[in-house]
Amino acid sequence: MTRHAFRMQLKPGHVEEYRRRHDAIWPELAELLRDAGISNYSIFLDEETLALFAVLDLADDNRRDSLPDHPIMKRWWDHMAPLMEVEPGNRPREWPLTPLFYLA
């Protein structure tokens, strides 16, 4: 199991809608993420900069790299694209974060 962290960027004025959509995450998306080997997935907001910080655990045999091709993932990205900075194809822009400290 490895921990993965990255940053994304929310657009101004969309904090509550972002929260609402994640509070109502589609069951099929949650299942897809779990089946891909993702667990303990959290997203934090820096309210000053609107930066989103995501942390998740990846199983050793995870299939995270297959998610961009999955129709459910693509539909979720389309659903979220108006709220955040995205790449072509509506994949959220991600900036990897380098681990510096961990206390178990």
CATH code, domain with 7: 3.30.70.100
pTM beyond cutoff 0.85: yes
What b/e readout covers 47-58, taking b as 16+ CB neighbours within 10 angstroms? eeebebebebeb
Whole-number average pLDDT of the chain: 97
Residue 102 in any domain: the answer is no
Catalytic residue check, 14: no
Query: Containing domain of residue 64, as a range?
Result: 2-96
Q: Give me the pLDDT at residue 55, please.
A: 97
> Which bin fits 69, alpha (ψ -120 to 50), beta or left (φ > 0)?
alpha
Average pLDDT over residues 72-86: 98
Reported as a single tens digit per residue, the pLDDT across 16-63 is: 999 999 999 999 999 999 999 999 999 999 999 999 999 999 999 999
| Active-site position among 14, 22, 70, 79 | 22
Residue 104 in any domain: the answer is no
